[in-house]
Every structure is written in C-alpha cells, then in structure tokens.
Structure 1
Amino acid sequence: MSLSQKLINNSLIFVPKHNPVCEADLKHFSDFLLRCKRLLILTGAGISTESGIPDYRSDGVGLYARSNSRPLQYQIFIKSYEARRRYWARNYVGWSRFSSFQPNGVHLFLRDLELEYHKVSSIITQNVDNLHFEAGSKRVIELHGTGFRVVCLGCDMMFSRHYIQDMLKFLNPNMIETSQYIRPDGDVELSDDDVKEFTMPTCPSCHGILKPDIVFFGENVPKETTRAVDKEINFCDSLLILGSSLSTYSGLRIALKSKELRKPLAIVNIGPTRGDNIADIKIGKRCGELLSKISLSKLCRLV
C-alpha cells in the first residue's frame, strides 16, 4: 500500500461502512445539480469524519458506539463549577489536535461550487470545526456555533480560542496539552487526577464564566442564527444535505421548512436520516467519494 493510500485510509477511520458510488448515484446527483441556481447546503458531521474528526452517532465508529461518554449538557455547564473545570481541562488537552484538522475534498468541492461556479446561495453547517472557512467558503452560517471562539457569559465579549489556549497554558504550565484521541467537539477523556489541579480561565474583562461559542446539548440556537437560516431557506431554489442524519431538530427543521416551500431536496449520507421520507433524492454513500467523481467544469458547461 502506498503512503498516500495509507494517509487516506487513516483519515477515514471514523467513516462507517458503506457501499461504493454507482453510475446511477452520479446521474441522479448530477441532474440535481444541473437544475440548481441558488443551492442551499446543509452539512453535518458526516463530512468532517473524512478529515479524521469523529462524530457522535455513526454506526460502529461514532462516539456513542465506542464510549459511554455523552456530551456535557448546557445547564450542567452553567450550574456546576466542577463540570466547567472538567470541560475546560479536556478541551485544553484536545485543542492542539482539534485545531490542526484540515479541510477535505468535500469542503473544497463546496468552495468551488460557491466561488467559481456561483451555484451556492449559502452553506449552513452543523459542525463547529471551522473547516468550511479554512477551505475558503465565504457564505457560511455556523448553526451550532464554532469551537474557534469563546464567549463570556457575563459581559458577552468574544475571544479567539487560540488566545484562550495561551491563557490556559500560562495557568497550567505542568499539564500536557496534546492528545492523540479526540471527541467530536474537540475535547478528550481525562481522569479525575488529571482534572483536580487544573486552573480554569475567567473573562479577562469581567472575570465572568467563559464558554466556547458552541450550542451545547440542551441549549437553543440563537434567534439571530435562526432568522438568518430562515432567510436562506426562502431565498434558495433547492436544498442539499450532506453528511447529516438530521438527528437534531435544528437540522431537521431546515429540511421540513424547505419541503413545505416545495424546494427540491437531495440527501447524501451513509445510513438513514430523519428526512429520507421527504427527500426527492437520497444517496446512501460517502460524500467525498461521490463528489470526487463529479466534474464541475463539465457539468456547468451543460447549463
């Protein structure tokens, strides 16, 4: 096996088992793209798994399949000092690896579809990994926020996560800040002994509670984000969902509302989704494999 093939295989360790793309898949997807002029795209964890970031729910390889761990609930983060300290300790150790992940072919395909071929009205992502922006996409709505910003719950000031990492390193000079293991939102598992000596940061401005600018489980999507999403649903002429099972209502709602407005809907995702029964096209294959076989230059010449 060549080095390049080994690297590809290593980056796909969190992608669940799937069948190869067939000619019928390519035809259905190409026909869908040909008809789109203002395409709204919703992306989920199933595209970031191809960069080596695990998801929560994938059969056999997601966090829930490999561990009894569950994401920290918003109310517990707010109410419990110990829960916040444990979260920040794990996030500190995982940050170096989480922030080093790179965009894959799916992110680059969507960038080109937007910037070179002008078919994308907006990308709505459920991911918090910043990879759409790293790839160069411009019109991106981060539905669940981003792990690359930190907000103060006291004064609402925003900080770069890299700045907070430097602060954490200063406060915890004896703690190792790297890990090979990573969870979907960038933290890692740590023992109680690892956590008990950890010093949490507070807001440099008001000493309030700091929280990653991520919509935690049990927390509502901000109203301004919901309004921006609704505007894009109304403006688009079609909806494409990539790598999402639509398990969270914030994602499913986008599919339901677009269908209510009679917008064509295509879903590409390994395994079933909550939107399969309303999709015009469902392709149960790996997003990266499908998109790698689509020639945008040839396709767009046909328009």
Structure 2
Amino acid sequence: MGHSITELASLFEAGPVAVLTGAGISTDSGIPDYRGEGSPPRNPMSISQFTMDPQYRRRFWAGARVGSSRFSSVKPNAGHIALAHLEAAGRSNGVITQNVDGLHRRAGSRTVVELHGSGGTIRCTNCDFRGNRDEVLGWFDALNPGYAERHAGAQIAPDGDAAVDEIDSVEVPVCPVCGGMLRPDVVYFGETVPTKVFAAAEVLLNGASALILVGTSLAVNTGVRLVHRAERRGIPVAVINRGPTAADTRADVRLEGGTTEILTELVARLR
C-alpha cells in the first residue's frame, strides 16, 4: 500500500534528513536511466574493460565527445532544485548521490557527497594529472577532426555519453604530462567507493533523523550499505521512485511516482 506526502513530510519533524539520490532524479533533465522503468537493457562499462581493451577506450572517448554537445544543454530539474531548497531551509543536511552528472551542485546544493565521483574531472592513471573534461574533449577534436560533427545524430546514453560506431580509427587523448592513460574520475563497475567518500556519506547519515531514497533502485551495493546503516541506527527510511527498489519491503514510507513531482510537492507541504 502506498503512502502519502503527509506521511513523508512527517519524517522531517525530528530534524534534518539525509537524502540518497540515483539516476531517476536526473531523467527529467534528459539523462536516461540505466535500470529505470522503460530503460533499454544496458551494461555499464567495467574498469577492466576500460583499462585492458583499446576499443572500449576508443568507444568511450568518441561517445563522450559526441554526447557532450547535447549534454552541455542539460540543466538541473525541479527535483534537484527542491533538494537544494530543503538543505537551505535546514530540512536536509545534504545529498549523497550515486550520479556523476554534477547537477546537484549546479542546482544549489552545498553539501554533496558524490559516491561515484565526478564525470567532469579527468585524471591520469599513471601520474597526478587532473584536468577538466571539456578541455580533454578539445584534445579529442584536435586528434579526430570532424568526428563529432559526423556523428551528431547519435543517441545519448546514461552518464552523458552517446552510442557511436566507426571507432576503429579514433585517436584517444593521453596525459599531457606523462603520456599515460586518461580516465574519468568516477567509480566504474569493478571498483569500490573510496573510503573517505563513504565516510563522508556516513557523517551525513549519522546526523540525520531519516534517510530518503530518491530515484534509485538500489541495484548498487553502496546504497544498500547506507540503508543497512540507517536501519541499525533505528531511523526511518523512505523511498521515492518510479518502479521497484531493493528497499521497498523495508521502507517506512514508500511513494511511487516521478521524483520531480513528489519532491516539488514535498517542499510546498513543508513550507
């Protein structure tokens, strides 16, 4: 049986809550979900594929460059903005996110723990070089003139990349310092969330009166670990999602529906 906005709002009476978000909060910004309702089957790239297979790296950089043209127009939606309002009003102590799109910060959220890193930062696997994604994609253009324009119609995919073909001749940018392999500063499948990052998420959770899950099916173990910690602390867990999640049977409050609509209504109710 579903719950109401009133029941969700009541969880804020004991103090600020912690919020964990997933890809479902960004779908209304035009970024597809990996596993949400209606999403096509798609397996995210693993770290071993990226580091061991030159074809995967070609596909990644080509897709990242082609997708960047459309991803640059992606903006935070009303759901992101609602969470920023909750923090500004003292109703939330921050956002823990599984997303790498940076939209929470752009929406005005001040305390953001990015469990899986930031897609906007590129780092070298061999030295301390860190660069801006747009800058590195400019190097891709210099190495592959006209490629992005020829593939401008490719379909955008999760994380802002695009489904491209014709990658055999793609030249991959390398580290300008040591010539090493460049990669996004994100947690790929096969990697673990850095200890300091998870500890920062625990700090938010330990200072919260409830944990609200927004737009995540909890298919990734890190989110499940946070739910287990909330349960051990004895604080309520709420779920806002379109489609089933791994926490549905354990949630104290469960709302089925779009995150944008529900969060917007929640902010209005709490005011």
Matched, 1:43 2:16: no
By relative contact order (CA 8 Å, sep 6+), the higher-ranking structure is: 2
Q: Following the alignment from structure 2 to structure 1, what is the Cα–Cα distance between the partners of residues 50 and 72?
A: 22
38 and 292 in structure 1: CA distance in 2 versus 1, 3 angstrom threshold: closer
244 and 185 in structure 1: CA distance in 2 versus 1, 3 angstrom threshold: same
Deviation at 1:54, TM superposition (A): 0.6
* Structure 1 gaps, min length 5: 1-21
Corresponding residue SS for 1:276 = coil
Aligned partner of 2:262 in structure 1 is: 290
Aligned partner of 1:189 in structure 2 is: 163
Amino acid at match of 1:31: S
Aligned partner of 1:118 in structure 2 is: 90
TM-score by length of 1: 0.84
Deviation at 1:294, TM superposition (A): 3.3
Amino acid at match of 1:182: I
Contact 2:217-2:246 within 8 A present in 1 as well: yes
Deviation at 1:36, TM superposition (A): 4.3
Q: Following the alignment from structure 2 to structure 1, what is the Cα–Cα distance between the partners of residues 70 and 190?
A: 26
Q: Following the alignment from structure 1 to structure 2, what is the Cα–Cα distance between the partners of residues 202 and 110?
A: 38
Q: Could you tell me which of 30, 40, 54 is aligned with 1:63?
A: 40
Contact 1:38-1:236 within 8 A present in 2 as well: yes
Q: Could you tell me which of 55, 64, 67 is aligned with 1:94?
A: 67
Aligned partner of 2:182 in structure 1 is: 210
Q: Could you tell me which of 138, 163, 167 is aligned with 2:110?
A: 138
Contact 2:242-2:257 within 8 A present in 1 as well: yes
Aligned partner of 1:299 in structure 2 is: 270
Matched, 1:249 2:221: yes
Which portions of structure 1, spanning 4 or more consecutive aligned residues, are displaced by more than 3 angstroms? 177-180
Deviation at 1:56, TM superposition (A): 1.0
Aligned partner of 1:104 in structure 2 is: 77
Aligned partner of 2:210 in structure 1 is: 238
Corresponding residue SS for 1:273 = coil
Q: Could you tell me which of 229, 234, 240 is aligned with 2:201?
A: 229
Q: Following the alignment from structure 1 to structure 2, what is the Cα–Cα distance between the partners of residues 180 and 289?
A: 30
Q: RMSD across aligned C-alpha pairs, in angstroms?
A: 1.7
Matched, 1:30 2:9: yes
Deviation at 1:146, TM superposition (A): 1.6
Q: Following the alignment from structure 1 to structure 2, what is the Cα–Cα distance between the partners of residues 95 and 45?
A: 18
Q: Following the alignment from structure 2 to structure 1, what is the Cα–Cα distance between the partners of residues 90 and 35?
A: 33
180 and 289 in structure 1: CA distance in 2 versus 1, 3 angstrom threshold: farther
- Could you give the per-residue CA deviations for residues 143-192 of structure 1, whole angstroms, max 9, x where no partner exists? 1112111111111321111111111111111212534521112222222x
Contact 1:91-1:186 within 8 A present in 2 as well: yes
Q: Following the alignment from structure 1 to structure 2, what is the Cα–Cα distance between the partners of residues 258 and 133?
A: 24
Query: When the two structures are aligned, how many residues end up with a matched partner?
Result: 268
Matched, 1:82 2:60: no
Q: Following the alignment from structure 2 to structure 1, what is the Cα–Cα distance between the partners of residues 49 and 231?
A: 36
TM-score by length of 2: 0.93
Deviation at 1:70, TM superposition (A): 2.2
Deviation at 1:295, TM superposition (A): 4.6
Corresponding residue SS for 1:266 = strand
Q: Following the alignment from structure 2 to structure 1, what is the Cα–Cα distance between the partners of residues 78 and 134?
A: 26
Contact 1:63-1:183 within 8 A present in 2 as well: no
